[in-house]
Amino acid sequence: MITSIDESGNVLIHSTTSSKELLSFKINDGFLKTAFATKDRALLTLDKNKINRFNFDIKHPETTFETIFSKVWYEGFDRPEYIWQSSSGSDEFEPKLSLIPLIFGTLKGAFYAIIFAIPIAILAAICVSQFMHPKLKGVIKPIIEVMAALPSVVLGFLAGLWLAPKIDKILLPIACFPILLIILTIYMPKIWERVKHFVNFKKEGMNYLIIGAPLIIIVFILSLFIGNSLESIFFNSDFNAWMYESFQIQYDQRNALIIGIAMGFAVIPIIFTISEDALSNVPEHLISGSLALGATKWQTALKIVFPSASPGIFSAVMIGIGRAVGETMIVLMAAGNTPIMDFSIFNGFRTLSANIAVEIPEAPVGGTLYRTLFLSSFILFCFTFIINSIAEVIRIRLKKKYAEL
């Protein structure tokens, strides 16, 4: 803060951080000297006869709408920036309470989690509801639903202490895995058409387990072999170091990739369950009519069943997004907990919910940090409320659109 006093005794107190006038008052003119007392909460003036004391208490001088949601040029920095840093070891430290890095981290974590979860959950729901025998469906669906009961702290523990070091060592093979899986998905239907006459399963859908699961394992092993070979031949056996030397991309062990996988597993059961219920509740006469007209099961599933169930599927996706936005423990344990703004999937971040969990035990009740954390919790509530409201509006419109089928 900067305090200025003119000859008439007018006192103005400004904040250098927010460039805002915090307080103005008048003291007796004719003073000889002035000094601050009690941690800048009082002004002492000396005139010819006595010492005068003027008490003032400025509430939360370092926080305004601009300092929370706009870039601020802090002392010692080269340019204005969004920064969250609530404490330091120095008494001269100035709190930096921008919520933008935390909002950015919240959206970043939810984005990567949903990108990972949506394809797996929806395709699994289509497979289970449309292609599997009822008895087999009665076994698989409860198993996936049980995943929703896994404590998020367990998933965060596994992601941060087991998964993150593993992926750090096999990053390139992990990048090869989805590419090989997509290639397999493209060519597998043609291969299946040639071999399905030689394979007979009593229960419909059993082929997806007996053939699909081993194939995915084989593709993963093949991706490990190809990735390690490429890393040894082209990247001097260290792909992470090559990324940094060539593109200045720093790989943090706990990053958005780990969060996408870990939080994705937490979101998959929610999206799968609601989507599968929506797909299974499509009227049977629509499916029978499509098959009777010569459509295949895949054509019926994609062009009849999926559009009819789209209101429920969309609601499932939006609920999954709300779950990802509000997740705390997985992000807290596996995201690096660094409040930085970087779009890279290989860098960490901090979310609003994780920040509340970290900071609230040390926040003095009624203080600036305490109030800022409550503001961040309100913003988090607004996120989930807006997401759910949008989901409901779109669900109603989709329901009206496909109600005539």
- Least confident piece of the model among 130-134, 141-145, 384-388: 130-134
Q: Parallel, antiparallel, or unpaired for β 10-15 and 20-26?
A: antiparallel
Q: Answer whether residue 133 is part of any domain.
A: yes
- The CATH number covering residue 306 comes to 1.10.3720.10
pLDDT number for residue 194: 73
pLDDT recorded at residue 71: 87
Evaluate whether 32 touches 47 at the Cβ level (below 8 Å).
yes
* Same-domain status, 27 and 140: no
Q: Are residues 188 and 304 in the same domain?
A: yes
* C-alpha pair distances (Å), 310 with each of 118, 208, 306, 390, 397: 13, 24, 6, 15, 11
Average pLDDT, the chain: 83
What are the respective helix, strand and coil percentages of the chain, to the nearest 5?
60, 10, 30
Taking the C-alpha atoms of residue 223 and residue 217, their distance in angstroms, rounded to an integer, is 10
Are 33 and 160 contained in the same domain? no
Q: Is the pLDDT confidence value at 24 over 80?
A: no
pLDDT band at 363 (very low <50, low <70, confident <90, very high): confident
- pLDDT value of position 25: 67
Nearest CA-CA partner of 341 in 86, 98, 18: 98
14-18, 185-189, 311-315: which is most confident: 311-315
In terms of Cα–Cα distance, which of 101, 107, 65, 111 is closest to 81?
Answer: 101
Residues 17 and 146 in one domain: no
Nearest of 99, 47, 112 to residue 70 by alpha carbon: 99
**pLDDT-derived band at 405, boundaries 50, 70, 90:** low
Structural domain includes residue 66: no
The reply to whether 155 and 37 lie within a common domain is no
146 and 24 belong to one structural domain: no
Q: Tens of pLDDT along 212-246?
A: 778 888 889 999 999 999 999 988 888 888 988 88
pLDDT at 351 over 90: yes
Give yes or no: residues 31 and 118 share one domain.
Answer: no
Selection from 2-11, 24-33, 68-77, 269-278 with the highest mean pLDDT: 269-278
More reliable by pLDDT, 405 or 333: 333
Collapsing DSSP states into helix, strand and coil, what is residue 217? helix
- Copy the structure tokens of residue 399: 């329901």
Residues in a beta bridge with 37: 42
Which CATH number goes with the domain that contains 29? 2.40.10
Whether residue 208 lies inside any domain: the answer is: yes
Count of the separate structural domains present in the chain? 2
Indicate if 28 and 106 belong to the same structural domain.
no
Within 281-309, where are the H helices?
284-292, 297-300, 306-308
Q: How many CB atoms lie within 10 A of CB 384?
A: 16
Do 330 and 225 share a domain, yes or no? yes
Q: Is residue 346 in a domain?
A: yes
* Assigned domain for 91 exists: no
Q: Give 47's DSSP letter.
A: -
Q: How far apart, in whole angstroms, are the C-alpha atoms of residue 54 and residue 352?
A: 40
Query: With left for phi above 0 and alpha for psi between -120 and 50, is residue 57 left, alpha or beta?
Result: beta
Domain membership flag for residue 79: no
Kindly state whether residue 74 falls inside one of the protein's structural domains. Answer: no
Torsion angle in degrees (nearest 10) through CA of 377, 381, 386, 389 = 180
Quick one: 192 and 326 in the same domain?
yes
Range of the domain at 310: 100-402
DSSP per residue, 6-28: -TT-EEEEEETTTTEEEEEEE--
Residue reference for tokens 């919240």:
106
Phi, psi of 78 (to 5 degrees): -80, -25
Specify whether 160 is located in the same domain as 299: yes
Share of the chain above pLDDT 70, in %: 80
The answer to whether residue 73 is domain-embedded is: no
Per the CB < 8 A criterion, the answer to whether 319 and 270 are in contact is: yes
Contact 197, 256 (CB under 8 A): no
Which one-letter DSSP state was computed for residue 161? I
At 206 the pLDDT is 63
**pTM for the structure as a whole:** 0.83
How far apart (Å, rounded) are the C-alpha atoms in residues 111 and 321?
Answer: 8
Contact 18, 66 (CB under 8 A): yes
Q: Are residues 39 and 106 in the same domain?
A: no
